[in-house]
Amino acid sequence: MANTLSTKTLRDKYRLAQLDNALRVGLVAEKVCMVDRSASKTIQSPYMSAVSSTVQAVAGTYSPAALTTTDDTLTVADEVITATHIFDFESTLSNFDLFMSANKEQVNSVVSAIDKWVVNTLCEDGTGTYTTPAGGFTTAANVSVILANIVSQSAGYADMMNGLYVIVENTDLTGIIASQVGSGYSYADAALNNGFVTSMLGVDIYVVRSGTFVDATTTSASGTKTWTNAGHRVGGVKNVTTYAAPRGVKFEEKGVTGKTGLEVVTIGYIGHKVWAPKAALTIDITLA
């Protein structure tokens, strides 16, 4: 049977597969947040306020307390867009497939933009706080102390079973790697033989590029958000915040009046929420 799929359809299938893989594998946001890909613009809080239990002598009586709830919603109010134009002569005369090359570059750009947006929103809205010893992560002796404090602030909560994490920039690795290879026996051997070990003290370590944690007010990086995160990192308990990506990311190809070839556009909608009842489990780490 003849293949009746158009060239554009085949490109779209490839793009979606490549992007879906990149988002799931490359995004730190996918690793530390609950992910909602429904078409909802508004998402209700999955948590309610805490209830208290009373221990008393056997009496069979009780005093019911009013259950208090606070309206808490995630509203998708930001979008990520990247676009390029491929002239017909560029596509025709090129020695390689410009559409696939453009797709790869757009995928990398979208992944980087989403991660920066979610990571900074996570850091900005978490109410847990911690200031590192002088030198931050770049001082090897500080690393185990910092991670121990993340564990300490999160310990005792049932949510801790979700796992713990810390997100650092690549420049922090000088201290983290030195700390790992200076650790005892089998752990140091693993670091020395296999390179960077991505977990210490039960805390998963995720690395983003230098310049991810920034100060920004409604810029092309922060959208509707305001961040004050320069000199900060973030950590805490996984999967107690929500990252929304309604129906994933879409692609468009369109002709433009006055130009040969096609515009190639990638667009997606994003939202993020640190839910109030669990906000203390996301720790804003200030580097000293």
Q: What are the domain boundaries of the chain?
A: 7-43+72-286
Partners of residue 283 on adjacent β-strands: 128, 235
pTM of the model: 0.83
Exposed/middle/buried for 107, CB within 10 Å: 0-12, 13-18, 19+?
A: buried
Q: Determine the pLDDT at residue 32.
A: 92
Residue with tokens 């879906």: 20
Q: Determine the pLDDT at residue 88.
A: 82
Q: Determine the pLDDT at residue 1.
A: 44
Partners of residue 36 on adjacent β-strands: 244
Q: Virtual CA dihedral for 129, 134, 135, 141, nearest 10 degrees? A: -90
Per-10-residue mean pLDDT, the chain, length 288 = 56 61 70 89 82 88 79 90 84 68 79 92 96 96 94 84 92 90 67 69 90 95 96 96 85 84 86 92 96
Exposed/middle/buried for 217, CB within 10 Å: 0-12, 13-18, 19+?
A: exposed
Q: Determine the pLDDT at residue 118.
A: 94
Domain range 7-43+72-286, its CATH number among 3.30.1300, 3.90.1690, 1.10.260, 3.40.50:
3.90.1690
